[in-house]
Each structure stands twice: as C-alpha cells, then as structure tokens.
Amino acid sequence: MHKKFFLKNTLVLACVVLLSSCDKEYNAIGDELIGKNHFDFKKYTSNVIAYNQKTGPVQSNGLEVNALGILDDAAFGTTTANFATQLVLQSANPVIGANPEIESVVLTVPYFSTLKSTDKDGNNVYELDSIYGPSDAKIKLSVYESGYFMRDSDPIGGFQQAQKYFTDQNSDFNNLKVGNRLNDAADGTQNDAFFFDKAEYVESITDADGKVTKTRTAPAMRLNLNKTFFKTKIIDAVASGKLASNDVFKNYFRGLYFKVEKSGSSASNLAVLNFAGGGITIKYKEDLSTTTAGVTTVSRVEKSILLKMSGNTVSLLNESNVNTAYSNATNSPNVTLGDEKLYLKGGEGSMVILDLFSTAGELETIRSNGWLINEANLVFHVDASAMSGSNEPNRIYLYDLNNNRPIVDYFNDQSTGLDVKKNKLVFGGVLNKSTSANGRGLDYKIRITNQIRNLIKNADSTNVKLGVVVTEDINNRFFYKLKTPTAFVSQVPKASVMNPLGTVLFGTNIPFGSANYDKRLKLEIFYTKPN
C-alpha cells in the first residue's frame, strides 16, 4: 500500500536479512554451491509461455483496506470505487438521560500518512500515502443510509458458510439507499467538492478556567453528518429497544453506503482506506439531576455514542472507458504461444498465467544433466511507454495456480523489514525503479529457486501453472472467489482485490528483431555442473 521506501537504517537492516536469507536459501545441503555470485555459475535461459486472464467480478467483502474514489488510468480505463459497511455499537443498549440534544455527528476515517516535519509551535506537516491521481483532484462524495441488509451467513447450504459479496453489486446498494445524503453540510469540501486533505486536524478546547488546550490529529476524512437524522435514528430509538444488541441494531440500521461521482469538470482521484479504523461519534448533552441536602440541581452533561465500521463491508467497483488494448489482450489471450504484453490489474481486473518448461522434453533433459541449481529468477520488464503517467503498483505476487497457494520460495523466505509491506524481499516482486528524477518503474524480479530446484530434483513433481497478480499485502495468503470462474481460474489472492492499480509488462511472444525482444519474460537459471 505504502509508496515509501526504507530509510537508510531500514535498508541496512534489510540488507543484513537479505544476505542471511540468501545464505540459507541458496546454499542447500548437498548442493555444494561455489561462491556467492554468478561469476562461477553457468546460465540457462528457458522460454516461458505467459498469457493474460481477465478475472471479472470478484469477492470483495471483509477486505482489510478498501478503495474509495475515481481513478482515471490511460493504460486500463476508469475505476470507480464505492463502498458499503455495517455499523456496530461500541457499547450496546446505551442509557440516554432526559432532554438529550445532539451537538455534533462526525464520521472519521484516518488516511495513511507520514509525519514529515513539526515546527516550533507544534504544527505538523504530513504526507499522504495510498492516494492515486492528481493531488488537487476533487470528487463528489455522498454518504447514505443503506437499505441493503448484509447477512453474515449464506442461506444456500444451510447458513454453514459466510455470505460472499462481489465487486459488481453497486447497483444493489445504490437502488436501496435510503433518503437524502447524510453529509449535507453547506461546506462543499464535505460533499460535492470533497478532496483528501493532508492537513492535520486541530481542535481547541477551553476549560472553565479559560485555559485553552489543543489536540492534534493526523489527517483523516472528517464529515459532519445530519444531526436531525441521528437524533431520530439513534437517540430516540433507544427507548424502543432498537439498540439493545448489535444483532438487533444491524438489522434496524443497515449501515452506510459511500457513493462517489465526478465533481464537475475536476480531475478525480482515489484513495485506499482502512475504514475499520474509523467510525461515527455522536456527541450530545443530557440532563443530570443531583440532590444534595434535599435540593435537586439539574445540570447539562456531555455524553457520546460511538458507531464503529467493523461489521460486514463490501468494496463496490466499476470499470468503464476501458483501454482497447487492455480489453483485447484480456478477452482474447494467446494461451498457446503467450501474449506480447501482460496486463496485471487489481480489484475487478486481470492476472497473468505462466507455463514453465513448455518445450517438449526440456525438463527431462535438464533433469538428466544433473545440474545443481543455484538460483532461478523471473524478471518482468515494465512497458514504460504504456505506463507513462500511470500509478504503478509497488509489488506483484507469484503463486501456485493449480493449488491456489504460495510456492515454496515464499514460505522459505523469512526476511522482514520495518515496513511490513517489504517483507519477503528475497522472494521479491518489489518494483525496481529508475534512479532518474522521475523514478519510474523498470522491472519486477521474483526468485523461484526452490520451486525450480524441487521440480528438477524430483521427477514426480508436478510442473504447475503459476499465477501472477498485483498485491496490496505480501503477508496476506488468503484467496477470494471469482463470481464467474474461468477455464483456468476460480479464485485469486485476496490482496490483489485490495489493490486498485495495474501495470503493463512485456510478455513472452515478442517477435525476434523487435526493439523489445530482449525485454521479453524469461526464466533464468544459474547452475553448476556436477563433477
């Protein structure tokens, strides 16, 4: 998710871990490896067949992070990301005193951000992360009461499995939204001209003695919601038992639906947010009666109710204005010879399928040679022309497509860093960027040494198909279902659904003599011959 790279101390740590891991990973017992570089190794290049696969609508409930906004990407098209969530009472069955009056209703969702500096007065400057598109972009944001009940269990199969919700269900929620939008403040930045504001939130509180205390909060979405609605929906409903438990409450108040649209002629952007870290705070005052020496005094006291966004959620995605080249490549892949360009797109997007050792008899010949495999890599070169001006995903992920699980190199890599998004650096898949001023992506390298080593050593090992996707979280190993399975794919890594970005890579079926021929995807194997 985060764009930031390690600081110097982090990089040193990662390098130490990397060297340690390399020593463990690439020096297996009995292999008798020579040296710690490639100079003593022989190199073998194997052709790969790689082709595109469109995923279509995919399961998107209960994601750790969710996209919100509109992303215009020349290489892929326009992604519109809406969102729906149930609300959960932090404390069920609250007690409301006499004469309650709401003072404020504020919806808050924190942004991913980094503190860059603090001045002498304590003012903080932040940099936002996971915001894609022009920094001055605006979107029209409307938050509605949802009329769509998101049940926990699927009635098909006798409620034995969790209910699945999919990226293409936006119309279901839009058609059942209730009433007017709740973020109806006169300030247009909270609705019709909303933007992801990087400014910290400063609140000044004056106590009874006139002392002013400032509280500072990192950047977040802060929307003032309609107080009249919440007075009726929450405060007045306590007496009727609608807040007695969260099961009752979630059926009574079915949640919120976040709808995004273009804001006039303004450019748009999109953010990846942790909605579960946010909530709605209802602040109100009520009467407090105290009796002392037979004298009753009534005072006003401040109370609050917190509604958390920790119930069922669903990411609602729509793809429009689809790039013709992307559409053609994913709708008509060349599964026999491979595709010239490979399109990886998160969310309701696309992936790539790899066939290794596709030449007849190649694997058997390598096995008979008795090679000691020192290292094996797949290097995916970025099509810089196609990706110019597009946001690039920081990482891609390769896995065993036949069995929908990580490969052995993933499990064997225990390298870690201060940024958990950069764990498993030996396994790789991290975008290698140019050192030039624009810092655009060059390639992604994934080590599959042990996958190849096991395949060659063990004649009964299956040469499985491999899947490649963009990923939001290398640590997440779960898989989510496609709404309509294809001939090759029925599910994809959950972390790919979280990531709204895409990348265009050079494939395998590039004609000899082409300017990009040397950038074609290959399997590179470094080996030593037995004595």
What is the pLDDT confidence band of residue 30, given thresholds at 50, 70 and 90? very low
Is the per-residue pLDDT at 415 higher than 70?
Answer: yes
Q: What is the DSSP letter of 226?
A: P
**In this structure, is the dihedral angle defined by the CA atoms of residues 500, 141, 223 and 230, taken in order, positive or negative?**
negative
Using an 8 Å Cβ cutoff, are 133 and 201 in contact?
Answer: no
- d(CA 219, CA 376) in angstroms, rounded, equals 44
Is the per-residue pLDDT at 27 higher than 80?
Answer: no
Task: Pick the closest to residue 320 from 60, 53, 52, 73 (CA basis).
Answer: 73
pLDDT at site 13: 44
Mean pLDDT lowest among 148-152, 162-166, 293-297? 293-297
Average pLDDT in the 246-270 region? Answer: 97
Can you give the residue ranges of every domain in the chain? 8-57+322-528, 77-317
Classify residue 122 as exposed, middle or buried by CB count within 10 Å of its CB (0-12, 13-18, 19+): exposed
Using an 8 Å Cβ cutoff, are 271 and 111 in contact?
Answer: yes
Q: Helix H segments across 73-215?
A: 170-175
pLDDT in tens, 31-43: 333 344 555 689 9
Matching residue, tokens 């309509």: 484
Is the per-residue pLDDT at 266 higher than 80?
Answer: yes
pLDDT at site 296: 80
DSSP-derived pairing of the beta strands 98-110 and 350-355: unpaired
Average pLDDT in the 294-317 region? Answer: 92
Contacts of residue 347, defined as CB under 8 A and 6 or more positions apart, other chains included, come to 58, 60, 67, 79, 81, 167, 315, 317, 496, 497, 499, 500
Is the per-residue pLDDT at 11 higher than 70?
Answer: no
pLDDT in tens, 104-142: 999 999 999 999 999 998 999 999 999 999 989 999 999
Average pLDDT in the 394-416 region? Answer: 97
Cα-based angle 71, 222, 102 (whole degrees, multiple of 5): 145
Contacts of residue 294, defined as CB under 8 A and 6 or more positions apart, other chains included, come to none
Sheet of strand 295-308, all strands in order from the earlier edge strand to the far edge: 88-89, 295-308, 279-292, 98-110, 220-224
pTM of the model as a whole: 0.89
205-241 burial, b if ≥16 CB within 10 A, otherwise e? Answer: eeeeeeeeeeeeebbbbebbbbbebbbebbbebbeee
Run of H or E residues at 384:
helix 384-387
- d(CA 96, CA 421) in angstroms, rounded, equals 44
What is the pLDDT confidence band of residue 158, given thresholds at 50, 70 and 90? confident
What is the pLDDT confidence band of residue 150, given thresholds at 50, 70 and 90? very high
Cα-based angle 400, 406, 409 (whole degrees, multiple of 5): 105
pLDDT in tens, 419-470: 888 999 999 999 999 988 788 999 999 999 999 999 999 988 999 999 999 9
- d(CA 188, CA 181) in angstroms, rounded, equals 13
Q: How many helices (H) and strands (E) in the chain?
A: 10, 30
- d(CA 484, CA 353) in angstroms, rounded, equals 17
What is the pLDDT confidence band of residue 294, given thresholds at 50, 70 and 90? confident
- d(CA 198, CA 2) in angstroms, rounded, equals 15
Mean pLDDT of the chain: 91
